[in-house]
Structure 1
Amino acid sequence: MAHTILHTAALHRDRFKALRDAIAPGTPLTHKVRPDLLATALDQGPEAVRADLAQLIAAADGPVMCSCTTLGPLAEELGAMRIDAPMMERAAVLAAEKEGSILLAYCLDSTLAPSVELLDRALAVQDRKTRVHTLSLAPFWALFEAGQQEAFEVVIATQLCEAVKSVDDLAVVVLAQASMAGAAPRLADLATPVLASPEIGLRAFLDLG
């Protein structure tokens, strides 16, 4: 039995292979890369890819995790794990412990509603009212699409460094999309923790604790 990760961007395959090698070397991990699913979902809505996504998940020899935030709700409905779910749970715990707010940054408009829904679900478990600030970095998504990963990460980090200055009682920053994870190390000097989904999600997916 192998764990399968469904990606909608090719670069995630190598990133997750490297991450697997770092935290769980030798663990069988299958990658399915389908950028066409995201393109269709953005053009026609997620329901347009239901049949294809269901077939991919059903054909997998073991558990499946979806690394695409846009497709996350549908993938979850069809039996897959959402990569950002463990991150949102951790963010909710941190916000409760620190009695502070959350800054949720995103770069693709289609990810906002799924991210907020998932975060609200996690916050409900903590049973406390938490203010969630959202920060759209949508103008910079074109850098990711053009393969300018370093420029993409730098501008995300720069924008967030400025944004946190205007948020009171900030407990945690959440990078909504796995594609944004490379910006996290560039924010290591922030006093506020910054959460990205790949490692948190992969550890949960592989049950590494």
Structure 2
Amino acid sequence: MTVPDLTLLHTSPVHVPVFDALRERHHPGAVLRHLVVPELLDRARAHGPSSVAPALLDLLSGAGPAGPGPVLVTCSTIGATAEALAPVLGAPVLRVDRPMAAEAVRTGPRIAVLAALASTLAPTAELLAEEAGGRPVSVRTHLVAGAWETFEAGDTDRYLTRVADAADAVTGADVIVLAQASMAGAADLVTTGIPVLSSPRPGLARALVLTADP
């Protein structure tokens, strides 16, 4: 039986080399197909995440050469909307931050969420509550000032430094969640003793398991 390709849906091209590097390092031989559609995030920010559902359905219905296959959505803002389309698509859809959220609630009840984009905060908090499954959790959200503008300007080093500095300033938390995949590199720059979680590596690992599911 042929193992299906994994389609990755991105709203920024910066994610493509990140996930390709993870594949080379941890999953050699896995076949990744990248779709990059920045307009989806623009629309979700302007009109709400649910507004992108029709466009997502059109995109993902034709994503694979043999029809829909497993999909990993790397944008946290539209992740829940995409996951909800799985029954219609007839294929598994995973938001990249779900495995990270599951690890966060296992780590401790006091969770600090850092995001560069305000539209990411509510979906991430909702995901953490969902993964907690009724267990009490306290989620504090932090918007990293100036980070998104730096990201859009293409200054990745400064962007990650801003995120790392914000993580180092967090107190009273059991775990820190970097809500956006683009923040992952900041985890290597922090000096805090609080665990800092990012989404690309666990998200890709879980999504590749889906390609092997019957």
TM over 0.5: yes
CA–CA distance in structure 1, aligned partners of residues 124 and 139 of structure 2: 11
CA–CA distance in structure 1, aligned partners of residues 72 and 166 of structure 2: 29
- Which residue number in structure 1 is paired with residue 179 of structure 2? 176
Q: CA deviation at 1:15?
A: 1.0
CA–CA distance in structure 2, aligned partners of residues 198 and 9 of structure 1: 14
Q: Is the aligned partner of 1:141 residue 2:148?
A: yes
- Which residue number in structure 2 is paired with residue 69 of structure 1? 76
- Which residue number in structure 2 is paired with residue 162 of structure 1? 169
Q: Is the aligned partner of 1:2 residue 2:15?
A: no
Q: Is the aligned partner of 1:38 residue 2:47?
A: no
Where do 5+ consecutive residues of structure 1 fail to align?
Answer: none
Counterpart residue type for residue 129 of structure 2: D
CA–CA distance in structure 2, aligned partners of residues 50 and 153 of structure 1: 30
Where do 5+ consecutive residues of structure 2 fail to align?
Answer: 87-92
CA–CA distance in structure 2, aligned partners of residues 75 and 152 of structure 1: 27
Counterpart residue type for residue 101 of structure 2: M
- Which residue number in structure 2 is paired with residue 56 of structure 1? 59
Q: CA deviation at 1:185?
A: 0.5
Gap change, CA 1:138 and 1:75, over 3 Å in 2: farther
Range that drifts further, 21-30 or 127-136: 127-136
- Which residue number in structure 2 is paired with residue 117 of structure 1? 126
Q: Percent identity?
A: 40
RMSD (CA atoms): 1.5
Please, what TM-score do these two structures have when normalized by structure 2?
0.87
Counterpart residue type for residue 18 of structure 1: A
TM alignment of 1:74-85, pairs within 5 A: 74-79=81-86, 80-85=93-98
Check conservation: 1:104, 1:176, Cα contact below 8 A: yes
Q: CA deviation at 1:58?
A: 1.5
Aligned residues: 197
Q: CA deviation at 1:138?
A: 4.4
Counterpart residue type for residue 48 of structure 1: S
Check conservation: 1:70, 1:114, Cα contact below 8 A: yes
- Which residue number in structure 2 is paired with residue 19 of structure 1? 22
CA–CA distance in structure 1, aligned partners of residues 22 and 33 of structure 2: 13
Counterpart residue type for residue 174 of structure 1: V
CA–CA distance in structure 2, aligned partners of residues 118 and 159 of structure 1: 22
Q: Which has the higher helix share?
A: 1
Please, what TM-score do these two structures have when normalized by structure 1?
0.89
CA–CA distance in structure 2, aligned partners of residues 163 and 202 of structure 1: 27
Report SS of the residue matched to 1:207: helix
